[in-house]
Structures are given as C-alpha cells and as structure tokens.
Amino acid sequence: MRGHRMVLAAGLLCTVMVAGGPRVARANDDAHCTVDLLHGLYVWHASGDIIPASGPAQPKAIVEWIRFNGDGTLVSPGATRSLNGVIGVSPPGGPGTYSVTDLVPADRGCQGHLTFTNGPSFDMFIPLKGGEFWMIQTDTNNVLQGAVTKVAD
C-alpha cells in the first residue's frame, strides 16, 4: 500500500511539473521581444554599396562597436569604414536609439529598428537568444547588410 502511494505521489508530481512547464516557458517567451533583449557590447561587420545619383555603385564596408544599453538607447565607441577604398575612422560617440518588437508568430524571433542620431537607419532581425543578429540599412541609395555579434556584457 505504501509503495502504491509513493508511485501515485511521484506520478502527480510529474503531472504538475509537465503541466506547469509550458506555461512558464510561454510567459518568458512573451517577454523576449523588448529592448532589454539587446544589452551589452556588440561588434557589427557589414558590406554593401552606395548607389550615387549618377555613376557606378561604390563599395562600402564597416566594422563597428555598438553598446546596447538595454533601454532603447545605444552608443558606438568607434568604427572603421571603407567607402570606395577610402578608409575612415569614427571617434567614440555615435549615440542612437533602437526598438524591438515581436515577429508574427512571436515564437520565431524579434524584429527591430535602429537609428543613429544624425545618421543612418537599419532594420534588425533578432533570434530570441539575442547573441547574434542581422542588420540591413534602410536609407535610400544604400545596400549594406551584415551580422552583429555580442562580445561582452
């Protein structure tokens, strides 16, 4: 009789754990697509072209540090870019803002938008983990896309 109670209790415990697990996971997943998904220091590397009003496309590439503050604001501690073979180094600064929202359906990841103050804008495509994601520039006459990887908190 005592063994039967232990098996019944163990079965009940398993049922509670299994039934409670998905609800907890779903509640946490709902909270992933917010600005705090991106928090820490990331490095962005991208390449593409600028399409001038006249003349051929000009290749461009960039490697940039971006610190996401987890509150919708960011700063760029520095960047190096090449525009048609001419190298430029950006000093620290480069403040900006970003947003993060759900994809539809929400369990597939997040999307976002980033705008540097007085600078370019980008759409972001972010997996729920947030460790690496992708950006594409949305300014007219620009074709620039690349990966953004978290390197530190």
* pLDDT tens digits for range 40-98: 999 999 999 999 999 999 999 999 999 999 999 999 999 999 999 999 998 777 899 99
Quick one: fold of 35-152?
Answer: Lipocalin (2.40.128)
pTM across the whole model: 0.77
Three-point CA angle 146, 151, 153, nearest 5°: 125
Region 28-41 average pLDDT? 80
3-state secondary structure of 55: coil
Q: Looking up tokens 């001038």, which residue turns up?
A: 52
Q: Alpha-carbon distance 106 to 22, whole Å? A: 15
Q: Alpha-carbon distance 47 to 81, whole Å? A: 9
